[in-house]
Amino acid sequence: MLNKLAALWDWVDQRDIDKHALAIATFWYTIYLIDWVLEYVFTNPTKSGVEVGLVVAAILLPWTPVQGYVFKWYFERKE
């Protein structure tokens, strides 16, 4: 069983499927977050710009280093 799993992982690793899947998932989640933030902005027009900006920052700022690291890893990974 372990030999089959090792062979499967070698097949995935040789084709960089893990790298592409993580980059695509990160990109998709970034689009999802931006969509959520824009929906929040458009559905709360009476809130002040500072309040909306703080909510947007609270949502997007923690995600930015994750996204940056994944894309850095994606482009620097060498076989």
- Summarised one tens digit per residue, pLDDT across range 5-23 is 888 888 887 888 888 888 9
Whole-number pLDDT of residue 18: 82
Task: For residue 34, give Cα distances in angstroms to 11, 18, 25, 29, 43.
Answer: 34, 24, 14, 9, 14
Count CB neighbours of 26 within 10 A.
Answer: 19
Does 3 fall in a domain?
Answer: no
Q: Please tell me the pTM assigned to this model.
A: 0.76
In a domain, 38, yes or no: yes
Give domain status of residue 6, yes or no.
Answer: no
The answer as to whether 9 is a domain residue is no
Provide the domain limits for residue 27: 16-76
State how many domains the chain has.
Answer: 1
Do 71 and 23 contact (CB within 8 A), yes or no?
A: yes
